[in-house]
Structure 1
Amino acid sequence: MLLTAPDLPSTWWAALRAALDDIATISTHRHTIRQQYLDRAMPRFLGAPINTTAPSWSTAHGDCHYANVCAPTLHVLDWEGWGLAPTGYDAAMLHSYSLLVPSAATRVHSEFAYVLDTPAGRFAELAVITELLQSITRGDNLEPAEPLRNRAAHLLGRAVESVGPLPYS
């Protein structure tokens, strides 16, 4: 989980956007996440009722967070989880891993608003948040639990129970 805002140039962000956009067009039968998992886990970790059907699917790196992207020259590492996922999954993962640092979350959101601010992107965020909330129940990465729940509540149009503001709408 990110704890300080990275100082990354615009060229790095442009390269990451281009790489993720290129990956999304690759045809595959591999899966990063499956519909059956979403059907089972989303209601459990996000509450019911919830639509568990992704608006669209595309190919994703599947583990796009700061430990798997290098700078100052972009290199994307850790490819064993690549495959089909809800469209926007990689941007949603990077965003979710940024929530503890509001300035970083704002930057990720700004760089990937073209996908995150779509129905598919919002769904992808909910899918990633579901996975991360499940990992928290196993004792992994406990720190982002509240920001993840707050972001999910915001995306679902539910009342946010914590006092902390979201870094953006």
Structure 2
Amino acid sequence: MDAVEIERAVEQRRVWLDKQLDVAATALDLSVVGQSVNTFDMRSAGAVARDQDGDVWLRVVVQDDDYEPVCRWDGNVTANSIRGVAKPAVLRWHDWQNNVEYLRGRRIRGEVMTLAPGTTVAPGGVLHDDPQLPDTWWQGLRRSLAALATHPTEWHNELGAVAFTIRGVEHHFGITLPDNVFADISWTTAHADLHWGNLRRPQMCILDWESWRPMFAGYDLATLYCNSLLHPVTARRIRDMPELHTHSGNLALLSAVCRYLWIVGEGSDWDPLEPHLRAEAETVLSSMSRRTE
């Protein structure tokens, strides 16, 4: 597809998602009152809506079983069980099957969620400027990630995370990671999509829970670090955290780097990160090579 065709396809998807917001609002007895916001991958859209008790967030998402990294169809709903984490809650939801020609047969979900306080730190996901976050904000993030890390989950995709990392390192760096690299690593429950577009201020709150799953310990800080590389002061603050100074943290960082390298070149906010991501990965790979010698 050329640039014009891509632009038309994106616009078609945007218009279709807006219509699904209206369908969800009718089914859930809401009225949409805010501007719709689409995710980068155009899998979902959301907007402020009005309920009988006040403003809420209405989100619609299209099921895509082939999407990588893994997203869970019921992730936002099942995340209601997580305690000790600053996050929105899903109040109710409605599923239906798309019967129009465009994406016919796809399953769609509308979710009514509590409205997160404040504003998004960086709507595009990548940090360019000083976020001016107080120490209390960072303390809140640390508390939430610590609570999340200990949350039990019955859903397991550890082998998928390993395979994704191996495939990414081979593709982007021409290096095959030996099996012993993945010995003695630690796993924790992770949000798994922690970028600045999923964080709110001035009150710390973590959005978008469709991807939460077991991951290499340190993965959430690794993804946030990758999205901070254009603002060195913030990047250094995250890089100095102890979770990223472990073997599991190194693997988490490699996995996060590969994740973003897959989408570099698609005209998004992540494109300028490429040289920084590559430099970070080269450092980690060099340290791993010394470790396995």
User: Normalization by structure 1: what TM-score?
Assistant: 0.84
Match status 1:102 vs 2:229: no
| 2:166 and 2:177 in contact (8 A); partners too | no
Range with bigger deviation, 52-61 or 21-30: 52-61
Out of 152, 161, 184, the residue aligned to residue 27 of structure 1 is 152
User: Could you tell me which amino acid in structure 1 is paired with residue 262 of structure 2?
Assistant: Q
In the alignment, structure 1 residue 36 sits paired with structure 2 residue 178: no
CA distance in 2, matches of 1:37, 1:125: 13
| Distance change in 2, residues 1:41/1:137 (3 Å) | farther
Unpaired segments ≥5 residues, structure 1:
159-169
Deviation track 1:83-122 (CA, whole Å, cap 9, x = no partner) reads 1111100000000100111111012223xx2101111111
2:178 maps to 1:48: no
C-alpha displacement of 1:135: 1.3
1:166 aligned residue? none
Taking structure 2 as the reference length, what is the TM-score of the superposition? 0.50
Distance 1:134 1:106 in 2: 24
Q: Is the 8 A contact 2:169 2:176 kept in 1?
A: no
Say which structure is richer in strand.
2
In the TM superposition, residue 157 of structure 1 has moved relative to its aligned partner by: 2.1
- Shift of the 134–86 alpha-carbon distance from structure 1 to 2, 3 Å rule, reads same
Q: Percent identity?
A: 33
C-alpha contact (below 8 Å) 1:46/1:130 kept by paired residues: no
Q: Which residue of 2 aligns with 1:150?
A: 279
Instruction: Compute the RMSD of aligned alpha carbons.
Output: 2.0
Kindly name which structure, 1 or 2, has the bigger radius of gyration based on alpha carbons.
2
Q: Please tell me whether the aligned partners of residues 31 and 82 of structure 1 are also in contact (alpha carbons under 8 angstroms).
A: no
Secondary structure of the corresponding residue to residue 182 of structure 2: coil
- 1:92 aligns to 2:219 (yes or no): no
Pick the aligned partner of 1:7 from 132, 149, 152. Answer: 132
Which has a greater percent of helix? 1
Aligned partner letter, 1:114: P
Which of 100, 104, 118 is the matching residue for 2:246? 118
Deviations 1:9-39 (A, max 9, x none): 1111111011011111112115496222223
Tell me which residue corresponds to 1:70.
200
Post-superposition offset of 1:49: 3.5
- Distance in 1 between residues matched to 2:176 and 2:161, nearest whole Å: 19
Distance 1:101 1:91 in 2: 15
Runs of 5+ consecutive residues of structure 2 not aligned to the other structure: 1-125, 288-293
Letter paired with 1:37: F
Bigger RCO (CA 8 Å, 6+ sep): 1
- d(CA) in 2 for partners of 1:152, 1:137: 18
